[in-house]
Amino acid sequence: MPKSNQQKFALVDCNNFYASCERVFDPKLEREPIVVLSNNDGCVIARSNEAKALGIKMGVPYYQVKDLMIDKSVVIKSSNYPLYGDMSSRVMSIVGEYAPVQEVYSIDESFLDLSGLMVNLNTHMQALKNQVKSWTGVPVCIGIGHTKVRAKLANRIAKIYPRFNGVFDIDVLPDNRFEKLLASVDVGDIWGVGSKSALKLNRVGITTALNFYKADIGIIETLLGVNGKRIYRELYGHSCLAIEEVAPARRQIVSSRSFGTDLSTFDEINQALTALTRKAVNKLNKQSLATTSMSVFICTNPFKKNVPCINLSKTIGMSAPISNEKLLIPLCAKLLKQIYEPGYRFYKGGVTLGNLTLDKSQQDLFVVNDKSTQLSDQPYGHLLRYASELGNDRWLPRAEFQSNRFTTHWNELLSV
């Protein structure tokens, strides 16, 4: 098993990140159950520990738990991504100071490569935990291990048992304790084992992480392929998954959202999709990318009974990469025209730009950059709209319970 010269990784994970962000700006919520709803107040996407204890499950539609939440006076918040995004970048920036190599894995998780650091890792990570908490108000837990899979597992322990004070090094566990721990973890909860893989493993009797650990590596490879083999080896302390310092290049940009209310006229849907296309093109331009395929989809609400479940979509390929919204917005309308069917109430729609490549027109100094004529590049561009975007804005999402965007809008600052 692990040798002392092996690599060391840490996984820094914010505790109930969205709920914690809400608490920073409203300390009254400190011990209250909090639930954060998805865009358009559709489903539960985050819960404080107190809300978890009430049995409110992740992903359930809001209307299903509404009565329970009112009954238990659960604090309900619409998702406030401008706030969470800014708080995340503060946290990640501090975390990055504690190791030479950092991978920002998600909005609230970050891996660090601690290999070769000549410090007491436990003390070092305690200092990180304390600094994040005092500088931003966000509590974090940190798991340490020889591999990313082990660090992730360690994080789980750090979260569950307060006696570790938020930092746990899994490599200090003797084999028998480590195996006891694995026995208490579902195989699907191992980092990298998805729900589909878990199902495959369950079929051959592998239900816990311990079953997985004790299984023959050949079986794991047969069932899950080379990725499964890597996770298996990682669990044994052989690092196979390196830190990814640079986020892999995006293969597609998706801009979709549930409309505020169901929409049925072509003009209303087109208005919503035009705005979504502009959002997607903005992302495209920010990363200096161009697209060669565009998909448009609209669908009815699959959760509504007695309503036909309709999902319409169309994709078009392009002969050359484009990145200009003047071309992409009319294309979106054209695609919509081809799929649109009157008589249905559409509740969600979106645009996908696929097959992304580097935008050559931005690199070539000698090509006249036609993007300068895009609306968003002009002064007051953010205030300008394409005619197809004009309308009653019924499609804009509901965010009934949103707190202020405290850190990104001057008129929404915390008042004291």
Partner 1 sequence: MNTEAQNHGGARAGAGRKKNSGKFKENTKVMRVPASLVDTVKSTLEVYKSQLKSDVVVSLPADNAADITTPIFTSRVQAGFPSPADDHLEGRLDLNKYLIHHREATFFVRAQGESMLGAGIHPGDILVVDKSLIAKSGKIVIAVVDGEFTVKRLHKYKGNITLKAENPEFDDIVISEGSELIIWGVVTSVIHQYA
Q: Given the rule CB under 8 A, which of 90-98, 215-223, 301-309, 342-350 is the region that contacts partner 1?
A: 90-98
Residue 363 as a binder of partner 1 (CB under 8 A): the answer is yes
Residues 180-209 that bind partner 1 (CB under 8 A): none
Indicate the residue among 215 and 356 with the shorter CB distance to partner 1.
356
Binding mask 218-247 for partner 1 (x = CB under 8 A): --------------------------x-xx
Q: How many Å apart are CA 153 and CA 11, to the nearest integer? A: 9
Residue 303 as a binder of partner 1 (CB under 8 A): the answer is no
CB of 12 to partner 1, least distance (A): 14
CA distances in angstroms from 384 to 104, 248, 256, listed in the order given: 34, 33, 21
Strands of 72-180 (E only): list them. 75-78, 101-106, 109-113, 140-145, 167-169
Q: How many CB atoms lie within 10 A of CB 394?
A: 13
Indicate the residue among 1 and 413 with the shorter CB distance to partner 1.
413
Indicate the residue among 337 and 409 with the shorter CB distance to partner 1.
409
Q: Total binding residues for partner 1 by CB under 8 A?
A: 28
| Burial of residue 131 (number of CB atoms within 10 Å: 0-12, 13-18, 19+) | middle
Indicate the residue among 26 and 179 with the shorter CB distance to partner 1.
26
Q: Given the rule CB under 8 A, which of 130-138, 172-180, 211-219, 326-334 is the region that contacts partner 1?
A: 130-138
Q: In this structure, what DSSP letter does residue 371 have?
A: G
Q: How many Å apart are CA 395 and CA 384, to the nearest integer? A: 18
Q: How many Å apart are CA 181 and CA 310, to the nearest integer? A: 46
Residue 94 as a binder of partner 1 (CB under 8 A): the answer is yes
CB of 243 to partner 1, least distance (A): 12
- For residue 263, give the H/E element and its range: strand 253-263
Q: Given the rule CB under 8 A, which of 24-32, 188-196, 206-214, 224-232 is the region that contacts partner 1?
A: 24-32
Q: How many CB atoms lie within 10 A of CB 217?
A: 12
Residue 407 as a binder of partner 1 (CB under 8 A): the answer is yes
Residue 352 as a binder of partner 1 (CB under 8 A): the answer is no
Residue 93 as a binder of partner 1 (CB under 8 A): the answer is yes
Indicate the residue among 138 and 276 with the shorter CB distance to partner 1.
138
Q: Given the rule CB under 8 A, which of 13-21, 155-163, 291-299, 355-363 is the region that contacts partner 1?
A: 355-363
Indicate the residue among 133 and 398 with the shorter CB distance to partner 1.
133
One-letter amino acid of 282: N
Question: CB of 401 within 8 A of CB of 79?
Answer: no
Taking CB under 8 A as the criterion, the residue among 27, 55, 308, 343 binding partner 1 is: 27
Q: How big is the chain, counted in residues?
A: 416
Taking CB under 8 A as the criterion, the residue among 60, 108, 136, 176 binding partner 1 is: 136
Residue 82 as a binder of partner 1 (CB under 8 A): the answer is no
Q: How many Å apart are CA 164 and CA 173, to the nearest integer? A: 13
Q: Given the rule CB under 8 A, which of 156-164, 190-198, 215-223, 358-366 is the region that contacts partner 1?
A: 358-366
Q: How many Å apart are CA 230 and CA 235, to the nearest integer? A: 9
Indicate the residue among 311 and 376 with the shorter CB distance to partner 1.
376
Question: CB of 251 within 8 A of CB of 354?
Answer: yes
| Burial of residue 30 (number of CB atoms within 10 Å: 0-12, 13-18, 19+) | exposed
* Owner of token pair 């002969």: 319
CB of 90 to partner 1, least distance (A): 4
Residue 28 as a binder of partner 1 (CB under 8 A): the answer is yes
SS3 string of 274-343?
A: HHHHHHHHHHHHHCCEEEEEEEEEEEECCCCCCCCCCEEEEEEEEEEEECCHHHHHHHHHHHHHHHCCCC
Helices within 72-140 (DSSP H only): 81-95, 121-136
Taking CB under 8 A as the criterion, the residue among 160, 172, 199, 413 binding partner 1 is: 413
Q: Which residues bind partner 1 (CB under 8 A)?
A: 27-28, 30, 90-91, 93-94, 131, 134-137, 244, 246-249, 357-358, 363, 365, 406-407, 410, 413-416
